[in-house]
Amino acid sequence: MSAPAVIDDRPRGSGGMDSGDLLRRLGTAGPRYLSYPTTEQLTADFSESDAAAALAQSNLSGCDLALYVHVPFCRHSCHHCACLRVTSTDTRHAEPYLSRLDREMVLTSRHLNATREITQLHWGGGTPTFLTLNQMGDLIDRLDARFGLSGSRQRDYSIKVDPRDTDVFTLRHLQALGFNRLNLAVLDLDSHVQQAINRHQPRVLTEQLVDEAHRLGFRSLGLELMFGLPGQTPDSLAETLTQVIAMAPARLSLAPYAHRPERFAAQRQIRREALPAPEQQQALFDRALTLLVEAGYVHIGLYDFARADDSLAIAQARGTLTRGPGGYSALPPCDALGLGVGALSRLGDSVSQNASTLADYEATLDAGRLPLARGRRLTAEARLRAHVIERLMCDMRLDLGALGPAFGLEAGRQLLPALARLHSAERDGLVTRHAQQLTVTPLGRVVVDRLAAAFDAHAA
Amino acid sequence: MPDTAIGRRRSLLNETRCQTCSLSSLCLPLALEVEDISQFDAIIRRRAPLKKGESLFRQDSPFTSVFAVRSGSLKQVTTEGSGDDQLTNFFLPSELVGLDGIDEERYPGRVVALETTTVCEIPFDRLDALSETLPELRGQLYRSMSKELRDDRRMMRLLSRKTADQRLASFFAGLSERFRRRGYSPYSFRLSMSRADIGNYLGLAVETVSRILGRFQTQGLVAVSGREVNILDLDALLELAEEEGAH
């Protein structure tokens, strides 16, 4: 069956826009609504029994599970990094962490119905490919022993790959472990930009992995790029994108660099003067958007792009796209269990997050407790808001009048005040509104998280 | 001849004749009439056994002969420009070593014994001359080359598309077939090559080879103990080897 046309009015950049809204948005990082409430709204009074209750409730629903595993190690220190990570060149440093992960799995699996299907698995970081091939194999074995991994063709098992410490043998090993999707961290192919972020990564490293992944039949390949990096110009980014498009990845992400040296020590290596000015940030994204759309990529939303024949674009056209802690997915809604330091979970009616420092994470587990730091149980109203935010971010449209069957007749009315908060976005051409129906314009797709914030009870 | 170790070995070497060799039905003389075999036998040079790790010839050394493996096994290793070693072939008894050196008149890789190995050296100029008078010999030479071409193309398909599981299944199914052809059990044999060698040959990390061997054992496809291999389900292995692409 062929998918219907995804969007007719393909975005051609935001050149005509004089609002500062988009500019401001691109320059600052707000919540991307991988969960609602967002991690900022989680509170420390979420106890282990709350977590057990969430897992029990999740069991009752019987829905599929997505597992996320955070591997916080990197062999190299990139200046732009805002990830939770530890830099080391010794893979033995990962051993104590892997033991803690196993302990967390044991503690968690006690509360989990063992028959639930693990339809999604994602290893992020840091750099999961920091691990040795045997460490990766052990981790997969432990995940399988505790949760029972899936061999289904429909599964989505992905891993973030650093092309600098990955070769074709690693890819074949990953495939043997059951991974069927790869996310290659590329950032930028321009050597000056790479130098500015301390990430020497010749194009050929990425190309040979892309070629091998295609040969081996990995279901889908995603490349991660970034804009707003030091030294980037619209021309240099266009050159990078041209090379990337030639590699024909099924998915692409182009995330903005957020300079917060006060929070991320590595970023102090980047001088503010080296960064593109705010108006140039927008020029960068505009240029990128135009190139990607011309090359046949669909702008799914925010910073995510997919080829029109990729399952993400097809799911979006059908209205079945989902969004969770792992980002957009073409698979049906499921609960998400995060493992490892800082990992986010969405189980039953709760959202929770693990301790976000290695010391806290390890100490809690060593005391025999789940390494929870924060969480929140959703009220009926919060569930409604979570649903609305997810649908808006996935479908790029929303009908407040159609919420009745699931959430009660008053549901739409409850959210009417949110519509008022979208007036300026409407004026800026980011969203259109007919009665209780919202439609995100092509231009609005990149700031759909900001539009979603209108439905966030906690957003400023 | 004095009854010493060296003497015994010499007499053994001298006793070995194509006419009495158990592999003659697989080797080059396969198609020859009995009276022609002695002509062929006359050009063969018997050599002292190679010890494990000893080279039969070096990479890029001048091509003079092809070699038939009489016992033991060898690997061919080509050192790439980058200095990396690529294992390009394994040779088992009755198989011919060195056919890939004919056109450029040098051997494209070094060939090393994996265990104590005996080979029969067949000087190529004499083989060439003899095959003009013995068309059956020429035919057999062509068939050997053709088989090597076919095997190489299969290997290319394997290296370009197959998953690690499929590669290893192919490898075992192939070995099993080679043992079967020589009249040995296709189900039970000893690997003379290390897992690192197998990995290098199949384009896999040694960790991947070990992991998949473990998986094959769990799945009841093979039982491996050290280097002893027992094929438990050859049909399943063949099926896996023939599968295309990933899941």
pLDDT in tens, A114-144: 899 999 999 998 899 999 999 999 999 999 9
For residue A201, what are its two tokens? 């990564």
Rounded to the nearest integer, the mean pLDDT of chain A is 89
Q: What is the pLDDT of residues A63-93, one digit of tens each?
A: 999 999 999 999 888 888 887 778 888 888 8
Residue B43 has pLDDT above 80, yes or no: yes
Q: How far is A101 from chain B (nearest CA, A)?
A: 21
Q: For the residues B159-177, what does the mean pLDDT come to?
A: 93
pLDDT of residue B14: 53
Chain B interface disruption, residue of A141, A168, A169, most B CBs within 10 A = A169
Q: What is the pLDDT of residues A256-283, one digit of tens each?
A: 888 888 888 889 888 888 888 878 888 8
Would you call B163 and A176 a contact, using CB atoms and an 8 Å cutoff?
yes
Closest-CA residue to A309 (of A359, A394, A249, A238): A249
Query: How does residue B29 score in pLDDT terms, banded at 50, 70 and 90?
Result: confident
Would you call B208 and A134 a contact, using CB atoms and an 8 Å cutoff?
no
Spatial separation of the C-alpha atoms in residues B32 and B180, rounded to whole Å: 22
Would you call A216 and B247 a contact, using CB atoms and an 8 Å cutoff?
no
Would you call A176 and B246 a contact, using CB atoms and an 8 Å cutoff?
no
pLDDT of residue A439: 95
Which residues is A226 bridged to in the sheet?
A255
Residue B7 has pLDDT above 70, yes or no: no
Question: For A153, which residue in chain B has the nearest alpha carbon?
Answer: B247
**Candidates B208, B245, B246; nearest CB to A173:** B208
pLDDT of residue A316: 97
Residue A319 has pLDDT above 60, yes or no: yes
Would you call A215 and B203 a contact, using CB atoms and an 8 Å cutoff?
no
- Evaluate whether A32 touches A320 at the Cβ level (below 8 Å): no
Question: For B203, which residue in chain A has the nearest alpha carbon?
Answer: A169
Instruction: Tell me which of B56 and A219 has the higher pLDDT.
Output: B56
pLDDT over 90 percentage in chain A: 65
Would you call A176 and B212 a contact, using CB atoms and an 8 Å cutoff?
yes
Query: How does residue A221 score in pLDDT terms, banded at 50, 70 and 90?
Result: very high
| Chain A contact residues (CB < 8 Å to B) | 132-134, 137, 151, 153, 168-170, 172-173, 175-177, 180, 215-219
Spatial separation of the C-alpha atoms in residues B79 and B139, rounded to whole Å: 32
Lowest mean pLDDT among A160-169, A407-416, B181-190: A407-416
Lowest mean pLDDT among A27-31, A90-94, A138-142, B77-81: A27-31
Query: How does residue B25 score in pLDDT terms, banded at 50, 70 and 90?
Result: confident
**Candidates B164, B245, B247; nearest CB to A172:** B164
In chain B, residues with a C-beta closer than 8 Å to the C-beta of A172 are 163-164, 203-205, 208
* pTM of the entire predicted model: 0.89
Mention every residue, 6+ apart, whose C-beta is less than 8 A from residue A125. A70, A71, A72, A73, A74, A83, A85, A160
pLDDT of residue A376: 95
Rounded to the nearest integer, the mean pLDDT of chain B is 89
Question: For A217, which residue in chain B has the nearest alpha carbon?
Answer: B246
Query: How does residue A13 score in pLDDT terms, banded at 50, 70 and 90?
Result: very low
pLDDT of residue A22: 61
**Helix pair B206-218, A133-147: axis angle to 10 deg:** 30
Instruction: Supply angle C-alpha A109, A115, A118, rounded to 5.
Output: 75
Question: For A218, which residue in chain B has the nearest alpha carbon?
Answer: B246
- Evaluate whether A334 touches A324 at the Cβ level (below 8 Å): yes
Stated as kind and residue range, the H or E segment containing A350 is strand A350-354
pLDDT of residue A271: 87
Residue A286 has pLDDT above 90, yes or no: no
Spatial separation of the C-alpha atoms in residues A39 and A33, rounded to whole Å: 9
Query: How does residue A10 score in pLDDT terms, banded at 50, 70 and 90?
Result: very low
Residue A107 has pLDDT above 90, yes or no: yes
Q: For the residues B236-241, what does the mean pLDDT come to?
A: 94
Per-residue b or e along B135-170, where b marks 16 or more CB atoms closer than 10 Å to that residue's CB = eebbebbeebeeeeeeeeeebeebeeebbbbbbbbb
CB pairs under 8 A between A and B: 50
Question: For A133, which residue in chain B has the nearest alpha carbon?
Answer: B207
Question: For B199, which residue in chain A has the nearest alpha carbon?
Answer: A169
Chain A interface disruption, residue of B82, B202, B209, B211, most A CBs within 10 A = B211
Query: How does residue A207 score in pLDDT terms, banded at 50, 70 and 90?
Result: very high
In chain A, residues with a C-beta closer than 8 Å to the C-beta of B164 are 172-173, 175-176
Spatial separation of the C-alpha atoms in residues A79 and A448, rounded to whole Å: 28
**Candidates B160, B204, B211; nearest CB to A137:** B211
Residue A23 has pLDDT above 60, yes or no: no
Closest-CA residue to A452 (of A382, A389, A381): A389
Question: For A154, which residue in chain B has the nearest alpha carbon?
Answer: B247
Would you call A215 and B160 a contact, using CB atoms and an 8 Å cutoff?
yes
pLDDT of residue A77: 87
In chain B, residues with a C-beta closer than 8 Å to the C-beta of A170 are 205
| Chain B contact residues (CB < 8 Å to A) | 160-161, 163-165, 203-205, 207-208, 211-212, 245-247
pLDDT of residue B246: 62
CB atoms within 10 A of CB A40: 10
Would you call A217 and B246 a contact, using CB atoms and an 8 Å cutoff?
yes
Lowest mean pLDDT among A69-78, A224-233, A262-271, B149-158: A262-271
pLDDT of residue A86: 83
Q: Phi first, then psi: what are they for A95, rounded to 5°?
A: -60, -50
Question: For A212, which residue in chain B has the nearest alpha carbon?
Answer: B160
In chain A, residues with a C-beta closer than 8 Å to the C-beta of B86 are none
Question: For B247, which residue in chain A has the nearest alpha carbon?
Answer: A153
Spatial separation of the C-alpha atoms in residues B219 and B185, rounded to whole Å: 22
Q: How far is A343 from chain B (nearest CA, A)?
A: 28
Query: How does residue A24 score in pLDDT terms, banded at 50, 70 and 90?
Result: low
Would you call B164 and A217 a contact, using CB atoms and an 8 Å cutoff?
no
Query: How does residue A20 score in pLDDT terms, banded at 50, 70 and 90?
Result: very low
pLDDT over 70 percentage in chain A: 93
Q: For the residues B114-132, what does the mean pLDDT come to?
A: 93
ipTM comes to 0.85
**Candidates B161, B164, B207; nearest CB to A134:** B207
Query: How does residue A28 score in pLDDT terms, banded at 50, 70 and 90?
Result: low
Query: How does residue A7 score in pLDDT terms, banded at 50, 70 and 90?
Result: very low
